[in-house]
Each structure stands twice: as C-alpha cells, then as structure tokens.
Amino acid sequence: NINLSLNYSLTDRLSLAIERERLDKRIGISGTFELVTPRKSPFNASVRGGIEGASNFTNHYTGFVEAPISMDYRAFRFTTAPIIIFNSRYDAETNVRPNAVNGKDNHTFALGMGTDIALNRRISLFGEYIPRLAGFGGFDSDRASLAGGLKIRTKSHVFNILITNNRFMSPTRYAVNATTTEYALGFNIYRRVGR
C-alpha cells in the first residue's frame, strides 16, 4: 500500500492536507488547527478533522474528528489522540460478511496512544497502540493497531522505518481495526519544503 500526501500551512496554526491511499483508491481532505503550540508550553494540542472517499472520492464517504495531545519531557514525547470516525462501516461489505465486530454500529471511537524516545537530536524510537473503544470494529476479530520503529531526522526530511500489523494509512481505516495478525515492514518519508 502506498499513501501520497501534501500538507500546506496556511498560517502558523492552520494547515490543510490532501492524500491518496492506493489500497482502495481512498482520497482524503483534512485540516488541522493547533490549539496550544510547543513554543508556549511543553504541551501541544490540536484538532484535526476531514473527509475521505473510496474509489477516488466517488463512494463511501467517511468523516473523522480527532484531538491529538502531546507532552514533551526531556527526551520523551507522549501522545494521546482520541478519534471519532463517522460512517466507518462499509454496508456493501457488511451485507456479505456476517462476522462484523459490532456490525450494527456505523461509527467508531478509538484512542491512539504513542511515545517517541529521542536517542539524540536526529534519531528516535517510536511506538503506537490504537485500540477501538466503541462502535464498529471491522471484521473477524477485534484487533488493535500496533506499530513501532525508528525515526531519523535530517535538515528537511524525516524517515520512519516501522513494523506494523495494519496495512491502512488513513485515519478512518487504521483506527477501526488492524487488518491482520501478521506484521509487515513499512517506510515513510516526509519532506519539508519552504521555511
């Protein structure tokens, strides 16, 4: 699965993003507003919301709202991100697969939790755990999404090398249910352009 995205900062606190995930040709449009910036406190809090559509934004529209909060303490960063996903159940799939987890629900509530431990200024270890707390939970078994790996920072790039049990990269999919019990190797690259 490949996900391409572009994030543009309109102001110091407001940014917009567009992304496309290859697996089900999902296109997402989202915005993030920072409520508390790390320049003013050890906390960072923001609100992020968006809408996604499968098949190149032609069907099954799914919305989400999340509120990531992180705290820095020396070399540690702790993050929690409660997320609500609207219309998370694929009705066409639910009709042919009887083994849905909470199949009568059409929304999902999950809680992302993560940590980042800096080994030096450029390299850190990270991990995340995203259990579904209520609502629709995908199919077969209720599996929390797990990931962990290494983050490498350069002047303009951030590289992530990770191991995860989830194949989805959009919030309306990875927070519902991990797709498998098998783990896979992943790679992310972020490039900053401009200031």
CA atoms within 13 A on the CB side of 105: 19
DSSP 181-193: SS-EEEEEEEE--
Give every CB contact of residue 193 below 8 A, 6+ residues apart in sequence. 156
Tell me if the pTM is above 0.85: yes
CB 2 within 8 A of CB 22: yes
Q: Which H or E run includes 95?
A: helix 91-96
Instruction: Measure the CA–CA gap between 119 and 153, rounded to whole angstroms.
Output: 12
Would you state the structure tokens that stand for residue 44, as one six-digit string? 């960072």
CA distances from 138 to 89, 152, 164, 172, 178 (A): 7, 33, 17, 11, 8
Could you report the per-residue pLDDT of 62-98, keeping only the tens digit for each? 999 999 999 999 999 999 999 999 999 988 888 888 7
Would you state the structure tokens that stand for residue 117, as one six-digit string? 């431990």
Could you report the per-residue pLDDT of 2-39, keeping only the tens digit for each? 999 999 999 989 999 999 999 889 999 999 999 988 77
Section 159-183 average pLDDT = 90
Comparing 30-39, 44-53, 68-77, 112-121, the range with the smallest average pLDDT is: 30-39
Give every CB contact of residue 79 below 8 A, 6+ residues apart in sequence. 68, 69, 70, 71, 112, 113, 114, 115, 116, 128
CB 126 within 8 A of CB 118: no
Share of the chain above pLDDT 70, in %: 99
